[in-house]
Amino acid sequence: MTDIDDILLNFSPSSLMLLNAILAIVMFSIALDLKGEDFARVLKAPKAVAVGLIAQFLVLPATTFLLVLIAAPRPSIALGLILVAACPGGNISNFITHRAGGNAALSVSLTAFATIGAILFTPLNIAFWGSLYGPTREILQAITIDPVQILMTVTLMLALPLALGVLVNAKLPMLTNRIRRPLQNLSMVIFLAFIVLALQANWDFFLAYAKYVAVLVFAHNGLALLSGYLTATVARLSPYDRRSVTIETGIQNSGLGLVLIFSFFGGLGGMAVVAAFWGIWHAVSGIGLAWWMGRTEAAR
């Protein structure tokens, strides 16, 4: 069997552009839930959002690096784990938080602020933690990714649709009320369908190598959820807010991860399988956790 580090997945430029557009629409639909006063409210009581951002952009990347040191996976798999940990919270985290009985408003605010923060912290975390581990440092040096290009990609895909969604919500509230839920549901269905179709083109490869990353993805996702829970607990957040931080940290934007992998790493095999498997598994684990948490009401 060919070494996973030597395989590049098949993903056409037109497919990549389509994925960029779909993610932008998903982000726009999420932003339709945001209002200017949501940001003002956070500024008045910023602790929970600050704790959530620390869990996502500091604690999770650091614990991911420890997992890589302990497990010592193939270099492309290790870099895939680091890249996923560097991404902001995933698009389904708001829905899962609501189902879990957590603070949905905090979840939406965290998604927004993490998206903005990703412009700086996603390329920074990939470069920093990836360069600390010898095998992944070799990949980064061979590819010589440009952090400015990553910054521009994240801005166009996430930050601009976020700003546009907030603006539409403020200026056209009647239109927003009509399109919000249908657009959110439709965009998520299109996104999931696209991922399935993209995987279908590389299905044999994915099935052949998924078993090599499955245990690591299970462990990594569990570690992400635990990182969010422990960070919120140490910060003494209420159980209501703690559920939101836990889910936001454990649900990563693997769609963004795939875009970065195909845009800057040529679809490197181990990285792509990690991000794709994450995209499937975090939805399963998140919905399962939401069902378990939702059986009891969280104290506020």
For residue 5, count other CB atoms closer than 10 A to its CB: 17
Residue 4 and residue 285: Cα distance in Å, rounded? Answer: 26
The pTM score is 0.84
* pLDDT for residue 226: 95
Strand, coil or helix: 225: helix
| Gap between the Cα atoms of 104 and 23, Å rounded | 21
For residues 11 and 22, give the distance between their C-alpha atoms in angstroms, rounded to a whole number: 15
In this structure, are residues 84 and 278 in contact, taking their beta carbons and an 8 Å threshold? yes
Sign of the four-CA dihedral 165, 171, 176, 177 = positive
Residues of the chain with pLDDT under 50: 1
Q: For each of the domains in the chain, give its residue range(s) and CATH number, in order of start.
A: 4-293 (1.20.1530.20)
In contact, 228 and 58? CB cutoff 8 Å: no
What would the pLDDT profile of 22-53 be if each residue is shown by its tens digit?
778 877 887 777 776 666 666 676 899 999 99
Which amino acid makes up residue 240? Y
Write down the pLDDT at residue 277.
83
Question: What is the distance between the alpha carbons of residues 157 and 23, in angstroms, rounded to a whole number?
Answer: 6
Average pLDDT, the chain: 82
What is the pLDDT, as a whole number, of residue 201?
Answer: 63
